[in-house]
Each structure stands twice: as structure tokens, then as C-alpha cells.
Structure 1
Amino acid sequence: MAPAVSASPSETGRVLSVRQSLLAMTGLAFLTMMVAVDQTVVGTALPTVVAELNGFELYAWVATAYLLTSVITIPIFGRLGDYYGRKPFVVASVVVFMLASVLCGISDSMVQLVFARALQGIGGGMLVATAFACVPDLFPDSHVRLRWQILLSSAFGIANAVGPTLGGFLTQYMGWRSVFFVNLPIGVLSLFFLWRYLPRIRQIQSADIRLDWQGAVLVALFLGSLQFFVELLPRYGAGLPMVSLGVFCGLMLTALIFWEKRCPHPLIPLDMFRNKSLAALFCLSLFMGFILFALLFYLPLMLQGGFGLTPQQVGLLITPLVVCITLGSVANARIIIRLSRPNHMLYAGFVLQVLACAGMVTAHQHTSQWLIVLYMMMAGLGLGFVMPNLTVFAQETAGRALLGISTAMLQSVRMIGGMLGTAIVGTMVTYYYTDGIRQAVPEGHGQPWLNLLENPQVLVNSRIQGDFMAQLEELGLSGQGLIEQARVVLVDAVHSGLVTALLMALIGLFWVYRVPVIHFTRTVGVKPAEKQVSSDE
């Protein structure tokens, strides 16, 4: 069924009728929901998965494999979407993601699960690179686009709100494999709407289009080596292997820049980085990725391990953060179109991030839970005020020909910021916690039980904590007293790590000044020489 293309997109601000726009956006909303649900339910089920498959040494790689392949594929498919239209890749991303979900669900070992998650990351990267860029294709008018994007923000928020609870329920009553199979019905619904109602829109019309495969290989080598370097450096230190890997990463970046400058059809047009507005937006996206991943990974550790809360209580405290991201996005869409200087919303978002991070850095075991909820709400609202605007501002600045690659690069840079955030904060938390334990319990030096206490798992895993208490009881020592000391040390260690997130929020607040004033496009006409709409898919 061919989508009905609007005869006057310059008058309506959209290329389809209202009904067709709603149906196409419904497909994109289901797509967003599928990925968001997957990200939240997998984290809940992962401890059970590791226990059954007996592969704790590969625990981190279940997430890392997904992130690695996503970061690599986002810029590649972002550019392919500009050249060949986004619909084929959006549809393919759903198929790949569903296939990988099945492979995850039937995995019999951690190695199989890691490889299946890597394949799922390819689908996720393809999705992020193309699905978000479909929205400005459908709605050239920025004001119209912001109103329609509420559908995606709502789908993302609903998935984040129910994901942790759904993951716990499925894991407990239907087994951990069901958390991967839950993607299938959502994916089928998304595939139905996208196949039938999403038009194929090509931003670049040329008979001589050649994909920059050399650039794609260099992007994969650079981002892949960067990911491995960031992940492995805290574990192995600055030895010869890590120095060699760092040098290799630098060489790949140099080779990528050298090649892209001379390539007639570059995968990553370097002119984007000469655009002051785009360069500033990419930096802000890096800061937001750093803050977001640092908070999502280490706040639960502080609340559960440091404050002694149950996983259910931690889930309830984290929920306001993810829900307020959606509320902030919805409120932003209503407010920003009425502002003479839309950049003011970026200032508001980073101010909220500064206040939230400062509050979390000063929180302690006796801080009121209502105050912690307030910090979570400010963090969520701040993210909701900044993240959608970075995407919209980049799309407004880049122009139609660079729409896909600029959107994709924004997402890639955010993930790289997340990689740096988790690695840097994780290294600081590990160092300060281990050093703090050794200073707080000097009498434990040389004792086997000190190794257990130096692992934060003893504060969050009831079985490990029980073994530790029994071991101390046999020696006539107070295990409970040591646990309480360790909780205080862990809170201080997480505070030290979160100071870097606060620093990034402060830098981001001042960096907003580097973003030129954005003026939203109104009633954009579609020039036949630049854009083609079809439904031949």
C-alpha cells in the first residue's frame, strides 16, 4: 500500500497525510520501544543469566559487545541512509534485531550470548542511525516535527518505566530466556507499520554514488580499538599491550582523517566538524553520554551497596529519572517552539544536570529518600531538555544532504561519551574503594577475608555476604561492623567518581555558549532534485 504523499509539504510541514504520518510514526514508536525494553530488561536478568551459564568473567561483555558493534555501525548506516533512503535499513534493522534476540534466547553458553549480543548491536546501530533521521524526512517543518516526536519520547519513556519490572517478572516466573523473546511481538508490530506506511525518501540523488568502504573499515578499526582500550585499560593498566593498543587507535584515527579528506564521497564528511555549531553539538552530546551512563551504572551501586537498599527500592528510586526524561522531552517540545532563543533550553537542561549531580555527590545514607527522588527528577528533566534538542539542532544545522550522517554521528559521540564515562568513573570507584578499605581496616592486611571485602559484590550479593559473615564469625570478628565500614567507603568512592559527572555538567553548561543561536526551519519545500519520495519498498 503506497503512502499518500502530501501535495504541499511546504504548507503542511509534513510529506504525508495526517493518517499516514500517524501510522508511520507508530511503526517508529514500536521500534523505539523494542530497543528501550531490551536495554532495561536485559540488565535486570543478567545476574540470573550469568549464574545459569556460569560465565562471570564475560559479564561485562554482554553489554560491551552490543555497544561495540553499535558504535561502529551507526556512522556507516547513517551515510547509507542518506544515499539509498532510510526505509530499507530501518526494516532490515528490525529483522536483524529480532533474529539476534532469538539467538540470545537460545544461547547455551556465555560465549554464544556475547556473539548474539554483538549481532543485536549491529541491528541496534542500524536502527539508531536511520530511524531517528526518518522523523525530519517526514516532517521538514521543525515546529511540526517537535510535536510529532512526542510519540517517540512517550514510547521510550513507557518502555523505560516498565522495563525493569517486566524484566524481573519474566526472569522470576518464565525464565531469563523470555526477556529476549519479548522483543519479538513488539518487533512484528513495528515491522508491519514500517513496511506498509513508511515512505522511502532519498536525500541525495546521484547516478554516481560510491560507498566509502575504506572509510568504513577505518571507522570500525578506530572505534573498535577505542572501545577495547577504554574497557581494558582499567583492568590491565598502562603496560606495553595497552600502550600499543592506544598507539594503534591513534594511527587509525590519523589514517581515517587522511583518507576522508581525499575521498570524493567520504563516509564521514569532515566539513561537519568545521561547522562551529555542529562541532559544539557533538561535544555536548559527548558530555551528555558521559553523564547519562555514569549515573545509570553507578547510582544503583551507591544506593544498593552503599545505602543498603533492596533492589526493589533502588528500582523505585531510579524510575523517576527515566520517567522524567520523557516528561522533560514532552515539556521541551511544547516550550521550545515558543522561545525566541531555543538555545535557552540547553542552558536549563545543563543547570538541572549540575544541581542533580551536586546533590548526588553530597547524598549519604541518612539523606531523605524524597530528596534523592528530587535529584533523580532534576537529572531526568535535564536530560529530557537537552538530548532531543541536540538531535533537532544538529538536523537544522547540517542541512538535508548531511541529515543522516549528522544524526548518526551525534548518537555515536554520545555512546563514546558513555564508554568514557563508565570507564573513568569505574576506575575511580574501584581505586578509591580498594584504597579506602585498606585504610579503614588496617588489621586486615594479609588476611584472606580482606579480598572478599575489597570486592563491592559483598555489599550487594546476599550469598557472598553470608559467606563473608560466616568466615569472620569463625575468626571471632564482627562481620557486620566491617560491612558497615565498607558501605561508608563505597559511598565515598562513588562520590569521587560522580564528581567527574558533575565536572562534565559544568563544562557542558559553559559549552552551550559555543552553540550559535538556532532558528527553526519553517515550511521547508521539497526540491525534486534533492529529495525523492517513493513506496517501492
Structure 2
Amino acid sequence: MNKVFLAVLLATALAAIEGTIVATAIPSITADLSGVELISWIYSAYLLASAIATILFGKLADIFGRKKMIIIGIGIFVTGSLLAGVSQSMVQLIIFRAIQGIGAGSILPITLTIVGELFSTEKARAKGQGYISMIWGVAGVIGPLLGGYLVDQLSWHYIFLLNVPFGLSALFLIARYYDEKVHKKKHHIDYLGAVIFSITVVTFLLSIIKGSNTGIWGSNEQIAYYAISLIGLFLFIRVELRAKEPIIPLTLFKNRRLMTVNGLTFMMMSIVISVSVYIPIYGQSILGNSATQAGLLIAPLTVMWTVSSVLVGTLVGRFSNKVIIQAGTLLLVIGTTMLAFLTTDSSYVYVGISTAVLGAGMGLIAPLIILTVQAAAKPDEVGISIGLNSFTNTFSQSLGAAFFGVLFNIMTSQPLRDLDKGEIQLNGSFDHQLFTKAEMNDLLHIITSGVQVVYIGAAVFAVIAFLLATMLQKNKVRH
């Protein structure tokens, strides 16, 4: 079992780091491959493919077994990584990043399911999920640092090629040591539902990505995206109601406990994206940090997320899962409220403490989310239930980024235009010769007000998360 768990941790680490390691390589990639106008698609292709794969592979794992599907998923990820590492054009890289995304999206729900099956007691499962959560937290810091080192010492190709030997090692360990009993029976795969779901999700996420990048939400193109998404949702529901084995059983949406947990996941991960995006902006624009220093403002969140994730295993059994999750959401309320009071004079230490409090809360919640899903789901729907939660995780970050972007722009767009100083970059590299002392003071207050409103919104999300935690029902743990 230890070797299988090691393989699961290794596969999780590959998927987690891949989400953050690319950022530091973007300048080198664009210099080598050109196509700077396609930069956003290096991220978007990965995100879209990953979001769809979490659902599809979660369901396929319920049908064909975890072992077979995780081997296929890691194989796809390794193949995508190898191809991305030898890309000769931006278009090739985007296509291969999508292949990587399919693999990464398959890894997340299946590894979480496998961990739940490897350990027999709730306390042991909590520790296992804590280590998985810790991997994701550490990846937030290690990814950019490792990416920067590989780019500086070798080339950007190696941030993808590095996945190959580790991925193959995880494949070997799972193929050799993971023993799974699959009950064979005839299945009816919902191909039509899968196709409609994929088209609908891609279209809706494209509308969010496009709107977030341009700030334009009412163009003809956007309206077309919305229309296709609504039609796709209507058709998907009709198909799923008639399917013998729907790709997403609509009965899942009647499971109050599952829906409460998914709502909690949505709120939590939306808050995470608000920190990932706007704390670096605050650090560079207001505190005058470099990009590296601003990025390190998030490090306390990662460290405390890791610490509290590991501690969860010792808390389970002493306190109910509901109490631990409530404590975590209360820390989210405190952390976001602290950030909502940021000013132009706030210190580096104050920001660090605020993000540390948030990280402690996240670490208490994340491992128990999956335990709660596993306890609430039917035995033959565990994979798709975790897949739906993983999809919510990805989806919430896209929607959260768009929502907070709208809040920030409402507070800053017009005041920045009123300064009449051209396009102002939010990286702190202002040309001070263009501004009088009063104008510079106004500029800092404008940006700070935008950040404050973002975290007022995040605090509302945190309060909703706390209320959802109080609604969690006690379920009998499934062994």
C-alpha cells in the first residue's frame, strides 16, 4: 500500500506543479516560439481540457475501475508533457498543453478516490487526504521556483520534459503494486451526454476567459457563447434524464450533503484565486515589491495550508469533521476581513499574517472535503461525485477570477482613466516623472480601493462558506 500511495503522491505532485511551473517560463517561451498574442491559451487550453477531464474520468473510473483509468490518465499526461517539451511552435505547444490538461484532469479525481480506498479508517483517510492537500500547497511555492531554475540553467523545454521520468515511475508503481477488484458488468456509456457536456463547458469557460481578458461581457461573440451554453445545458439535462447510465447522474444534485460540500468548495477556491491574483498586484503596486517578493507574500498561505493539512489527521476523532470544517471557514472569514482593511500604509507583515490565517483555514477544510464527499456518495458513484467536486474546484477559480476582476475594474477603471496618464501597469513600475506627488498618492489609493473591494467580496464568500459548513449533516462513514 505504501508504494501505491507514493505513486499517488507523485502523480498528484506532477499535476499540481504543472499548474504553476509554466508562469516563470512564459517570457522564454514567447522569445523562442513568438506568438505573444496566444500566451493566454497556454493556460486556457490546459484549464479547459482539465475541467472536462475531471468529470469524464471520474465517471469512467466508476465504470472501468480506478487502476485502468489512472494508468490511462498518467499516460496521457506523460505523452502531453513529452510533446510539449519538444514543441516547435506556439500552436503546437497549445495543443500539447490541452493533452496535458486531459491527463492532469484525470489524475485529480482518481487519486483522491484511490486514497479513500487505500485506508480503512476515517482517521487514516484524513491523514492521506491531508498529504494530498499538502502536495497542492507546496506546489504553489515549488512550481515557480523550480520553473525559474530550469529556465535559467537549462531551457523552458525541461519544465515539461521533467514530468516524463517521474510520470513513468508513478505508472510503474501503480501497474505493479495497485491491486483493485473490479466487478465486471455490462455498461451503457453516455457518449451523447459526454459530447454535449464537453461543448457546453468549453463554451461557457471560453466566455469567462474571453470576458476576463478583454473586460467586454456584452459583445455579439459573448452573447453567442451564452446562448450556446444555455442551449447546451438544456439539451444535457434532457439527455441525462433519459440515459441508462448518465455521465453525471442528476440525482447527485438532490444529495443535499454533496451540494453543500460543492458549494463550500466553490467559495473556498474562489477565495484562493483572489489571493493568487490580487496580493501580488498589491505587493508590486503598493508595497513596491519586485515580482519575486510579491509572489512570496503568498508563501505564508502555502506554508500554513501545508501545516494544517497535516494536522487534520490528528484532529479527526477528537473533533467532528463538521466542527473542524467550521473552524476552517471561520479562519477564512478572519483572513479575508483582514485583507479587506488593507491600506496604502499596510505592512508586509500584516499581509503575511492575513494570508497565513487564510492558509490555516484552507488546510483544515480541504482534506475533509473529499472525506465528506466519499461518505455522502453511493459506492458506485464515488468516482463521479469526486469528479464533480474536482470540476467545481476548477470551475470556481475561473468564475471567481472573472467576478473579482469585475469588482476590481469597477473601482479602478474610470479613476485610472481620469488620471489621463495612458495605460497604467499594475506591477509597480510607474514612471514617477509622469506623476506629481498628489497624482501618485491618488494612484496608490485607487489601486488599494480596488483591492479592498475584492476582499470585501471574498469576505462575503467566506461568510457563505461558514454558513454552508453549519448546514453540513452528519453521515455515516463508508468503509
Q: What TM-score do the two structures reach when normalised by structure 2?
A: 0.93
Matched residue, 2:453: 496
Q: CA, structure 1 residues 482+173, in 2 after alignment: closer, same or farther (shift >3 Å)?
A: farther
Judge conservation of contact 1:307–1:487 (CA < 8 Å) in 2.
Answer: no
Change in CA separation of 1:215 and 1:147 when aligned onto 2, cut-off 3 Å:
same
Distance change >3 Å, CA 152–CA 237, structure 1 → 2: closer
After TM superposition, give the deviation of residue 480 of structure 1 in Å: 7.9
- In structure 2, relative to structure 1, the CA distance for the partners of 1:372 and 1:478 (3 Å cut) is closer
Q: Which runs of 5+ in 1 are unaligned?
A: 1-20, 445-449, 525-537
Q: Distance in 2 between matches of 1:57 and 1:294?
A: 25
Map of 1:447 onto structure 2: none
CA contact (8 A) 2:134 2:305 kept: no
Q: Could you tell me how far 1:379 is from its partner in structure 2?
A: 0.9
SS of equivalent to 2:22: helix
* Range that drifts further, 205-214 or 254-263: 205-214
Are the equivalent residues in 2 in contact too, given 1:428–1:497 (CA < 8 A)? yes
Match of 2:185 in 1: 207
Partner of 2:236: 256
Which shifted more, 135-144 or 64-73? 135-144
Q: Which amino acid aligns with 1:58?
A: L
How does 1:252-401 map onto structure 2 within 5 Å? 252-339=232-319, 341-401=320-380
Counterpart Cα distance in 2 of 1:257 and 1:119? 28
Q: Percent identity?
A: 26
Say if 2:83 is the partner of 1:103. Answer: yes
> How far apart are the structure 2 equivalents of 1:493 and 1:370?
21
Q: CA deviation at 1:206?
A: 5.0
> How far apart are the structure 1 equivalents of 2:339 and 2:176?
47
TM superposition shift of 1:232: 1.9
How many angstroms does 1:31 deviate by? 0.7
Q: 1:479 Cα deviation (Å)?
A: 7.3
Q: CA separation of 1:289/1:134 partners in 2, compared to 1, >3 Å: closer, same or farther?
A: same
CA 1:218–1:307: 2 relative to 1, 3 Å = same
Structure number with greater Rg is 1
Pairing 1:107-186 to 2, within 5 Å after superposition: 107-186=87-166
Q: Give the drift of 1:354.
A: 1.1
User: Per-residue deviation at 1:164?
Assistant: 2.2
The number of aligned residues is 477
Which among 486, 498, 508 is matched to residue 443 of structure 2?
A: 486
CA displacement at 1:186 relative to structure 2 = 2.2
Distance in 2 separating the partners of 1:432 and 1:378:
26
In 2: Cα distance, 1:498 partner to 1:89 partner: 40
Q: Mean Cα displacement is larger for which, 328-337 or 138-147? A: 138-147
Q: Is the 8 A contact 1:285 1:390 kept in 2?
A: yes
Alpha carbons 1:219, 1:256 under 8 Å: kept: yes
- How many angstroms does 1:276 deviate by? 1.1
Flag the 1:283–1:81 CA change in 2: closer, same or farther, 3 A: same
Shift in Å, 1:51: 4.1
Distance in 2 of aligned mates of 1:452 and 1:242: 25
Q: Which amino acid aligns with 2:339?
A: M
Query: What residue is the counterpart of 2:60 in the other structure?
Result: 80
TM-score by length of 1: 0.84
The one-letter amino acid of 2:270's match is F
Q: Which residue does the alignment assign to 2:403?
A: 424
CA–CA separation in structure 2 for the residues paired with 1:361 and 1:91: 45
Q: Provide the aligned C-alpha RMSD in A.
A: 2.1
Residue in structure 2 matched with residue 18 of structure 1 by the alignment: none
1:251 & 1:401 partners in 2: Cα distance?
30
Show structure 2 runs of 5+ residues with no match.
none
Deviations 1:31-79 (A, max 9, x none): 1111222222212222333344333322222111111111111111111
Task: Report the Cα distance in structure 2 between the residues aligned to 1:199 and 1:284, rounded to whole angstroms.
Answer: 33
- One-letter identity of the residue aligned with 2:210: L
Equivalent position amino acid for 2:348 in 1: Q
CA separation in 2, counterparts of 1:114 and 1:483? 40
